[in-house]
Structure formats: C-alpha cells, structure tokens
Amino acid sequence: MLEATLNMKLLEMCSKCGACFSICPSCMHIPGYDPREVIKDILDGNHEKWLTSKHIWQCLECHHCLEICYQHYGFENAMTALRTIAARKGVHPAQVKRGWEMFVKTSRLGEPALPARKKFGLPEPKASGAEEFKKLMALLKERRGHKGE
Amino acid sequence: MKEFAVFWGCTIQTRFPFIEKSTRTVLEAFGLPYRDIDGFTCCPEKSLVNNIDHAAFVLTAARNVALVDELGYDLVSPCTGCVSNLATVSCELKANPKEKDSVNGMLKEVGREFTGKAKLHHLVPFFHDTVGLLAIKQKMKRDFSGMKIALHYGCHMIRPSHALRNDDPLNPQKFDNLIRAMGAESLQFLTKLMCCGQGLDRIDEHDRALHFARIKLRELKSIGADALVLCCPSCFLQFDNNQFLMEKEGERFGIPVIYFTELLGLSMGYTAEELGMTSHRVDCEPFIKKWESLANKPSREAAIEEGLSGPNLLS
Ligand code: SF4
Ligand code: SF4
C-alpha cells in the first residue's frame, strides 16, 4: 500500500538531502517533529510505528518543502501517505473524523449563516450540489466494490 | 473581461459572512462581471478529505470546476484554500489523461464533464493581474500613506506553484505591490511567509495553534505594525479569533487583522461599518483612528510651504 503512493527512489534522495528541514515551520516550532526520522523509518521498512504518532498530523501542508525541493517533491508526501494509512486504520484524530463525516453527509463543512446574511443584506445562498455529490460518492463506492478494494 | 463565478467556500459562508459582504462591495464598485452559480459543494478541504480519500477529493473538486467549465466562465475565490485545492486537482487531471477519463466517466453519470478550461484565480493575484494597479488607484478616494502594514500571504494563495502559477512561491510580490499601490508601507519581517498554523486547530492541538499565532503576532507588535492584512478565512480565524482568545487570557498584542477587501473598501470611501469590520473580534479602531488622524495632518508639502512662507525673524 505504501509503494502505491510513495516513490521510494525519491525518498532515497531525501535521506541524503534534508534541505527542507530548515524551511519547514513545524520542524522549527514543534519539538520532536522531524520528517527525516519518518523517511528513514519508511526506507527501513518500519513505517508502522508512526501511524499512531501525532507528528504525522502536524505537517501543515504549507508546501514550503515542495517548493524548495530540487525534486519538487517535499517531506509532505511522506506525511500525507502515512496519514492516509492511519485514517484507513481508523487511528486519525477525532476532529478529523468529525469533519469527514460532515463532509460526506452534507457535501460541505458547514451551512451558510442565514441570520447574519440578512443582517449584512447578502443574497440568498445558491442551491447546493449535495444531491449530485451524494450520487457521485455512491458511484465511487460501487466502482471500488467491483475492483474488490 | 471574462465573466467569472465566485467560489465562496464553506468557511466564509459559515463563519465570516462579513467577508462576503466586503468582497461583494468591492466587486460591485469595480463593476466586475461576477456571477453566483448553483451547485457548488465544499472545494473540498485538502487536509481533511485528501488525507482520508484521495479519489473523493479529486472527484469533488473536478465536479466544482466542471460547473464553471460548462458555463464558459472563469473562477475567482477570496479563499486561498479553495482555490489551491481546485487548482491542484485541475492540474493533476490535466497531466493525467487516464485519471481524467476515469473521473469524467463518473461525472457523466450526473451529466457533468471536467474540461479544465476555466481559469482559477485567487482574488489577490486577480486584482493585481486582471483589474490592475492603475484601475485600483483611480477608484481610491484616499491612500494609506503613513500606515505600516504587515502582509500575510497565506500559503495556499501561491503554493503549490505548479498548480497556481501566479507568483514566486518563495518570494511573492503581488500582494506587496497592491499594498504599496494603496500607499502603505509593506513591512518586511522574519516571519512574513511563515504558515499561520491554523491547521493545528483542526487536529485537536489548540495550544500549539495559539503558539503559532503568537510567534507572528509578537514580531508584529515589536516592529510596530498598524495591521496584519491577509486574504484567507483560515488565516483570518487564526489571527483574529485566536489572538482574541489569547488577549482574554491577558496576553495583549493589539494587532487588527484586516481582509484585503476591507482595506480596499476603506480606501474607496466605505466605512468600517459598511464593510462589516465591526464584526471582527480584535478591534480595528486603532487602525482606523490612526488613519483618520493622518488625514487631519497637513500634507508634507503644505507643512514645508508654511515654514518657508511664514513669519521671518531675520527680516
Ligand atoms: S508541508 Fe509539512 S513537512 Fe512540508 S514544510 Fe510544510 S509543515 Fe513542513
Ligand atoms: S523533500 Fe526534497 S528538499 Fe526535502 S529532503 Fe527530500 S529531496 Fe531534500
């Protein structure tokens, strides 16, 4: 599953580089946050131990590492892959679970604040695409079922 | 100018309707051909949806872009997250014909098609490139000379650059150019491009989120910034709401957080009230007061003129 989303060759290069460490805000300001450690473990075949670590969720997806990287790759790819695996195993943060549930149920992360809209003289909100969205999510599930995922 | 749909996104419509207010106000005032269209859903939010299900992330974003494609419009958003997510997916599908076909296979079932024709803009680079600095200067009633503004670009206004292609992702200039065109000084400071850290509030790490806000706010206080100007609802939440929470606990920064559209609106003669700025949690009064006091001061030229032509002790 890991190989499917991560390029081990690029990660090998990372293990010899580490340039983005010095520009990553979480590396600078969160004690113990160090994607270099995570990448080392992935390359050694020990990614499992990170799945329950809060550090994989502390990547802010700011894309600084991607932009400074000579491979246009970035630490974030390793963190995203591990987050996805953690979520598939159900060990993701409670708040992320709640947000995801709201998203699949309503197609949004909150509904327009109607009283405030009135106060500011804003027009009626436009129709939502929730019905179509639900059809698509069902379709996605169905196609996955066929592929036996 | 090509017609464009505005993508408001969940956060602005749910939590900050006043941002929609100031955005509509300036779009109207410039007479821009903006449209509200039916059928948008969440963009969707990357850190949440993409981490859990990449295919759902791609399909949802592709459908949103398809709505705009069909109408032949472009898209403009005052939310950095929304535009970055939509552009990321659009770029991915354009580069992967196979993935695009499979996505379109599903979209067809609901009568949609992603072509990727629509240009996807963030409001700030859109004002810079498409409206233009000259048009902005012509609409302004009063500039901000004498005011010191700290800009926060917001990571996703400019990154990932392969998808957005709108500015230098590590040394952006366009927001600075806009602020300078409006007469203010754009302060240069160490944490200028540092991520706001609001993401930490979405993974049950509130104290760390506060700490990220604190790092930047401390620096802004020490360099005497009159305001922090930004154009992202997530960053706004981080610096306005979380600053307010820290102030309640006795840590005072006093840095008003002003949305780009509000600053533009003020310069065009709208009041803070009309722009919805009185709904902020951190008071904007100090900024407005200082700006007003500068208006009452005679201009540099007038003051020198008076000194040169006034009473002369030598004669
Ligand atoms: S995207 Fe994540 S790993 Fe990369 S610089 Fe930002 S916080 Fe660090
Ligand atoms: S992501 Fe790029 S910059 Fe960072 S360590 Fe790997 S190769 Fe170096």
pLDDT per residue as tens digits for the range B82-130: 999 999 999 999 999 999 999 999 999 999 999 999 999 999 999 999 9
Give the position of tokens 């329950």: A52
CB contact under 8 A, A122 and B17: yes
pTM, 2 dp: 0.95
- What's the pLDDT score for residue A1? 43
- What's the pLDDT score for residue A2? 54
- What's the pLDDT score for residue B54? 94
Tell me the domains of chain B and their CATH numbers.
4-123 (1.20.1050.140), 133-295 (3.40.50.11810)
Q: CB–CB of B28/B15 below 8 Å? A: no
DSSP H helical ranges for chain B: 9-15, 17-29, 51-52, 54-71, 80-95, 97-108, 123-126, 133-139, 155-158, 161-164, 174-181, 206-222, 233-236, 242-248, 260-267, 285-296, 300-309
3-class SS of residue A36 = helix
Separation of B162 CA from ligand 1 center, angstroms? 17
10-residue averages of pLDDT along chain A (149 residues): 74 94 97 96 96 97 96 92 95 95 95 94 95 97 77
Bridge partners, B228 (sequence order): B150, B257
CA end-to-end span of chain A? 11
- What's the pLDDT score for residue B303? 80
The three-point CA angle B17-B19-B24 to 5° equals 100
Separation of A59 CA from ligand 1 center, angstroms? 5
B109, B119, B160, B278, B285 from B116: Cα distances, Å: 18, 8, 17, 39, 44
- What's the pLDDT score for residue B312? 82
Token pair in block for residue B256: 């008003």
The residue whose CB lies within 8 Å of the most ligand 1 atoms, and thus the one to mutate among A34, A59, A67, is A59
A84 vs B: CB within 8 A: yes
Look up the ipTM and state it: 0.95
Residue ID of nearest Cα to ligand 1 atom 2: A59
CB contact under 8 A, B204 and A123: no
Q: Which residues of A touch B57 (CB under 8 A)?
A: none
CB contact under 8 A, A120 and B208: no
B12-69 per-position pLDDT tens digit: 999 999 999 999 999 999 999 999 999 999 999 998 999 999 999 999 999 999 999 9
Quote the CA–CA distance of B200 and A55 in Å, as a whole number.
11
Separation of A42 CA from ligand 1 center, angstroms? 17
Q: How far is B137 from chain A (nearest CA, A)?
A: 27
A13 vs B: CB within 8 A: no
